[in-house]
Structure 1
């Protein structure tokens, strides 16, 4: 299972008003493990960045002056995401901008023809109705350290969202690892510990009880008499 956690930064809020993507950040997960095969690119948008947007992400027109345009990296991006499941927080925003950029190409495509899309904001609203579900709020809820996130950044936010997504979808895995995490030291980040332990753990070996062990087990149950709730099972 290949998943791409994706985020973008833009010159403004509306592609219909001519705003463009200026940064794409992608983090790859294969079978829920980070692979390090990331995609990160700053882009020259061929227009000025809104002052309000600069306050959010800190990316300036001067910084982007010598960066490639979207059309220069589009083929690499398309091949990178093709066939994967995209994990995006507030997906309509990012997908809308990506579709707008792809529409400007000679052979226009749409994201939904390349990849399936999962919106973690929709997931969070279902899991935590009536609560704040911004990326910062989810980091706080799942005890994920985002203290280094002074400004928005596509790759940084994708990395943080990967941690959030793994915690949101971990189910019982987080509970099973609680004792192990405590032994690792309280100062370490819980999501980092879960990823490391999952990556280092070998495949579980299933060992079935042999006939003598099953007989010994049955004798133990009989010795417990009526106190054994197993006897009361239908």
Structure 2
């Protein structure tokens, strides 16, 4: 789906997982969402840690730092799924590299006999796909986009679903800045045009001619240029058609 949205309510979502492949048993361990309404963060966030009932791969643990011990007393996915479904209902969901997160979420929903994730929201926007279209041939990771759009991620030591969602919300707003400006510009132009119209016709235009002293100084400058090029300077050649036209119409260059 394009970056242009069909609804005023957006949910920016990110997940952390025990590994890379739900088909081999990897599970969701964290979901973080932030809400945008009319392009403004509302503070109505959704954030849950989840007990995956298995350990994280070493590589994944190095990324998110969520240990089995930390997650052991957290709710299981089936205990939070109804909250998640209610939260995303009717919203367009923004995800960076959507196939990864959707693969895990769909797997979790399928385990519970539920329809796919996208059936519970108004649609999904993949900012990675759109970033590649906007910046072909460049790095388009979340960190790279933060650098490109001047969004500070210095506080991001480890990946976290809620933190990454907050950063992605800022990136999305930067990527789509100006998409809704056309109608606003038209309205401003209409107001300005209306003000000009109401002000009545413009006053008489005043034309000021050069004084004799100014014309003499100008001629002295041209004479110096003529001397430098040992002939006629370019300015005189360019001015000749205008001079001839003025004389033909009976106008004096001196005013």
TM range (shorter): 0.7 to 0.9
CA distance in 2, matches of 1:131, 1:164: 16
Provide the secondary structure at the position in 2 that maps to 1:75: helix
Mapping for residues 153-232 of structure 1, pairs under 5 Å? 153-171=160-178, 208-209=194-195, 212-213=198-199, 215-216=200-201, 219-220=202-203, 223=205
What is the TM-score when the length of structure 1 is the normalising length? Answer: 0.77
What is the TM-score when the length of structure 2 is the normalising length? Answer: 0.71
Residue 116 of structure 2 aligns with which residue?
Answer: 110
CA distance in 1, matches of 2:45, 2:77: 17
Q: 1:97 aligns with which of 100, 104, 111?
A: 104
Mapping for residues 8-27 of structure 1, pairs under 5 Å? 8-27=15-34
Give the structure with higher Rg (CA).
Answer: 2
Deviation of 1:118 after TM superposition, in Å, equals 0.2
Deviation of 1:173 after TM superposition, in Å, equals 8.3
Deviation of 1:83 after TM superposition, in Å, equals 1.1
- In structure 1, the gaps of 5 or more residues are 175-203, 226-234
* Stretches (4+) displaced over 4 A: none
Count, aligned residues: 191
Deviations 1:5-31 (A, max 9, x none): 000000000001110000000000001
Residue 50 of structure 1 aligns with which residue?
Answer: 57
Residue 191 of structure 1 aligns with which residue?
Answer: none
Deviations 1:66-91 (A, max 9, x none): 00001000001001001100000000
Provide the secondary structure at the position in 1 that maps to 2:19: coil
Deviations 1:87-114 (A, max 9, x none): 0000000011011111111x41212211
